[in-house]
Amino acid sequence: MTEQLKRPLPVRVRRQPDGIPMDDLFRSRPAKPTPPLPRRPPPAEPDLVERPGPAVSGWWAVLTGLAALGGIAAALRPALPPHGAELPLRAWATAAGCVVVAVVSFGGLTRGRTGSAWVLSLFGRYRGSVRRTGLVWISPFVLRRRTDVRLRHWRSEPIAVVDAEGSALRVVVLVVWSVRDTARALLAVDDHLGYLREQVEAAVARVVSQLPADAFRGDGPTLRDAEAVGDALTRMLAAECRAVGIAVFSAQPTRVEYAPEVAAAMRRRQIAVLDARHRDSVLTGVIDAVDDTVTRLTSRGLVDLDDFERQALVKDLTVAFYTRQGGAAPQNQE
């Protein structure tokens, strides 16, 4: 009597609502790319904006000082020989007041230069900027700091960066800039010249890393397009330096070259790519010439060729035309 085969009971896997499914432990899910956060330039302090400072023409101060000296002489004249009279308290007060006026008048005289400005502050508070030239009177009780507002240019040292393909480069940049807001340039940052240099290095690294130095794998934008790279650098630097009162007018790469440790290898790669492009263009022209020759011969009925003869004719014409173009004859590979 044969025993009936018992059917195996189905195994049911119950998923706990608070557990981790077993089939999800080893499932490879592609990670979702995190979109890059938009880069924002540093904010500018709204209250720190250049405004005209208290200053007047220096000639008015000279006249006021001379008048004060005259008042001192008039107040002290009765006490001088041959009079020798005793001065009343009012005369001494008048002379002292004239002395103070003369000291303040002559002590505040300064010279305003073309292309420079005075930044005034009192007890750590910004009081204004003076861009006047010539003889100028500024209160001697305020702190004065001179800054250069002329159009200036700065040529960087070779900056070590990496392009989009990971090749080490050395880039030299010429920056044309000037101080637009003297208050922010001196008070919003510790050293605006150092800030500009650091921002140039950061901007060059960001722009260069987006493009390759040379298009080895096809035609496309490269770092050899100095105009496009310069426009990107200028926009980036202008946005970054606006908060410290610096206006960037131009930032152009004057030299883009490979680092010494990879220069020889990249030069060989460039020569190989140029040679391959030359061979490809020559071969394309030879093939077109052979096709045109065979088509003309057969269409006009000058020759009647079978497949073997056509292949032999194409081979001979290809070798002849390619050798004439200056290339080496292709090898017959079987």
Tens of pLDDT, residue by residue over 265-296, are: 666 666 656 655 656 666 677 677 777 777 77
pTM here is: 0.65
| Separation between Cα atoms, residue 180 and residue 245, nearest integer Å | 5
309 bridge partner residues: none
| Separation between Cα atoms, residue 111 and residue 130, nearest integer Å | 11
Q: What is the pLDDT of residues 163-221, one digit of tens each?
A: 888 888 899 999 999 999 999 999 989 999 999 999 999 999 999 988 888 765 666 78
Buried b (16+ CB within 10 A) or exposed e, 187-201: bbbeebeebbeebbb
Decide if 148 contacts 171 (C-beta within 8 A).
no
Q: What is the radius of gyration, based on Cα positions, of the chain? A: 42
In this predicted structure, what is the pLDDT of residue 197? Answer: 94
The residue behind tokens 């794998």 is: 217
Residues 6+ apart with CB under 8 A from 323: 329
| Separation between Cα atoms, residue 68 and residue 99, nearest integer Å | 7
Measured CA to CA in angstroms, residue 118 lies from 121, 144, 177, 238 at distances of 10, 6, 19, 24
Buried b (16+ CB within 10 A) or exposed e, 208-241: beebbbbeeeeeeebbeeeeebbebbbebbbbbb
In this predicted structure, what is the pLDDT of residue 249? Answer: 95
Q: Is the peptide bond before 82 cis (omega within 30 degrees of 0)?
A: yes
Question: pLDDT tens track of the chain, all 334 residues?
Answer: 444 545 554 445 454 444 444 444 445 554 454 555 567 777 777 778 899 999 998 899 999 999 988 888 888 777 666 665 677 778 788 888 899 999 999 998 999 888 999 999 998 899 999 999 999 999 999 999 999 999 999 999 999 988 888 888 899 999 999 999 999 999 989 999 999 999 999 999 999 988 888 765 666 788 888 899 999 999 999 999 999 999 999 999 998 888 887 756 666 666 656 655 656 666 677 677 777 777 777 776 666 666 677 777 777 777 776 676 555 544 444 3
